[in-house]
Structure 1
Amino acid sequence: MITSVLLSSIPNVVHGFGTGAELVPAVLLPVWESRPQKKQVHGTTAVRIAESRQRAGEADAFHTQQREIAVSVITADCVPLLLARRDGGHVAAVHAGWRGLADGIIPRVLAQLEAGDEWVAAIGPTICAACYEVSEVLALDFARRFPGIPAADLLPSHRHLNLRAIADYQLRKAGVTAIDHAGGCTCCARDASGNPVFRSYRRGDRNSQQHAGLYIVG
């Protein structure tokens, strides 16, 4: 399990990012069955969760002020973003792949939360730019969409897209400046024995993604 120093400092909030060895963070297991029933579709829909096992439909972001209800997302290379208000009274989990980042899922969620500097964010294990080569068309499209991100950060090498840089930029633009980058690259990170740390769609893992989530302690 991977954790964030920033999120760990928030009172009454429990969180964790899964790994290949621990797909569901153990700290989420006590309330795991409370999580929303959902289908992630690489979209921009964010759902407020008000009850245990709420039917959320097709969505990629979930937030709640209710205690003992886990909000979580599944990722394999995309950005798992966890957010918490500094007082521990509101939390959110966001799945942001390249489509969601391009279409603005992060700004949309932050607007719904009315989030600013009273929130902290943790960007979890995500594929790194060196491992994430995209098409020429997509690279050019991102350069056009995000002129505010230095080219050396957005596309540090030809056609290699930095998803973390985009998420970080969108958070800061909305006023969320307390940002932790937790975990390494889902594709190339290795443990001391040389084994992959995370599951990665780009590396070939298709049906065993890891979960990231958090909840407010009752």
Structure 2
Amino acid sequence: MVTSRLLNSIPGIRHGFGCAAALVPPVLENMWSLRPVKRQVHGTHVAPVELPEQAVGEADGFVTAVAGLPVSVITADCVPLLLARRDATQVAAVHAGWRGLYDGIIPAALAEMGEGAPIAAAVGPTICVECYEVSEELANDFAGKFGPSAVPAFRHLDLRAIAEQQLRAAGVEEIEHVGGCTCCTCDAAGEPIYRSYRRGDRGSQMHSGLYITSQETT
């Protein structure tokens, strides 16, 4: 399980990013059955979550202020983004692939969270620039919309940079990148640490999520 020091610094929040060895972060296992029933579609819909096992339909962002309810996303190379207010009153999980980033899933999630205490953001294991080659047309579209930092090399997108750009544009100042590349990060034995669609993994994907603890927020 991968964690963020930034999110760990917030009392009342528990979180984790999955990996190949633990697709569901251990910190979420005891309450995994309570997560929303959803279908991720690379869109921009952000669903408020208020009930255990809530059916939210097609959505790629999930926000809750209810203690004890986990929100999570499934990824293989896309950006798993976890958000938490500094006062531990609200959390969100966002699935941001290139489609979601281009169409504004991150601003949509922040808008759904509304006003309140400052937000801390953790960008989890995501495919790196070197591993993420796209079509020239798509690269040009991103460069035109987000500037040269989005495409630092010919036909290669930097999903992390695009996510951070959108977070900072919305006023999020505390941002941490954790976990490395889903495609090329390996352990000491040379075995892949994560599941990666680009590397050819077609099996189970990784889960990342967080929740507000009922003990520390009541």
Q: Tell whether the 8 Å contact from 1:117 to 1:176 is kept in structure 2 after alignment.
A: no
Mapping for residues 204-215 of structure 1, pairs under 5 Å? 204-215=200-211
Q: Tell whether the 8 Å contact from 1:116 to 1:176 is kept in structure 2 after alignment.
A: no
Aligned pair count reads 214
Quote the RMSD (CA, aligned, Å): 1.0
Give the drift of 1:159.
Answer: 0.3
Mapping for residues 75-94 of structure 1, pairs under 5 Å? 75-94=75-94
Pick from 168, 180, 188 the counterpart of residue 184 of structure 1. 180
Q: Tell whether the 8 Å contact from 1:117 to 1:177 is kept in structure 2 after alignment.
A: no
- 1: CA distance, partners of 2:136 / 2:197: 20
Percent identity of equivalent pairs? 61
1:16 aligns with 2:16: yes
Q: Counterpart of 1:3 in 2: which secondary structure?
A: coil
Q: Counterpart of 1:20 in 2: which secondary structure?
A: coil
- 1: CA distance, partners of 2:4 / 2:55: 28
- 2: CA distance, partners of 1:215 / 1:163: 25
1:136 aligns with 2:136: yes
Q: Which deviates further from its counterpart, 198-207 or 92-101?
A: 198-207
Give the drift of 1:207.
Answer: 2.3
TM-score (norm 2): 0.96
Give the drift of 1:205.
Answer: 0.8
Gaps of at least 5 residues in structure 2 are none
Whichever residue aligns with residue 206 of structure 2, its letter is Q
TM-score (norm 1): 0.96
- 1: CA distance, partners of 2:150 / 2:55: 36
Pick from 152, 168, 172 the counterpart of residue 172 of structure 1. 168
1:121 maps to 121
Whichever residue aligns with residue 167 of structure 1, its letter is A
